[in-house]
Structure 1
Amino acid sequence: MRDVQGVLYYFIAVSLIGAVVCIYDKLAAPRGWRRVPERTLFFWALVGGGPGVYLTMLLIRHKTLHRSFMWGIPAIMILQIVILIGIYNILYSRGLL
């Protein structure tokens, strides 16, 4: 059970980081600050921060006109869910959970 909590805390942490990066980029745009590369936002989604990045994008209306984000981030999250379910099923079937 402790491992499950660790995984949950990890996903919460990277989602929060992804959200902060998204908010920073939104603030940087009109102020002339250095922008966050799009690949950085995708990186945080790939390492598990997809929910934070995607929800923040919707809430602050950032990059919502970019199809690559509106389709890509949810696709990454779905793929991650499928992978996690597969790992869980393998471990459960082998009696490791």
Structure 2
Amino acid sequence: MSDDVRMTAWVRGRVQGVGFRWFTRANALEIGGLTGFALNLDDGRVQVVAEGPSDHCHRLLDWLRTGDTPGRVDGVTEIWSTPRGGYDGFAIR
């Protein structure tokens, strides 16, 4: 049985124009086994979608919340669901 999940996170704060998406992608690749993307939203947030093993998605979410990110994270909201697939690696959009 697969423990793969889909984690969608919305990151608030000063997270655009500071390399946040690039560092998110680099961290996802370092964790390994994750596909998805990081996307700037018009309201100033960054949306992060990651699919892969549950523990890997939790590691990425923990990193998003640590404050060890570029810019300043004021908060992260996430939802969990089943993977949809269709991603080729981890992209910056």
Q: TM-score scaled to structure 1, two decimals?
A: 0.27
Q: Which has the larger radius of gyration?
A: 1
Structure in which a larger fraction of residues adopt strand: 2
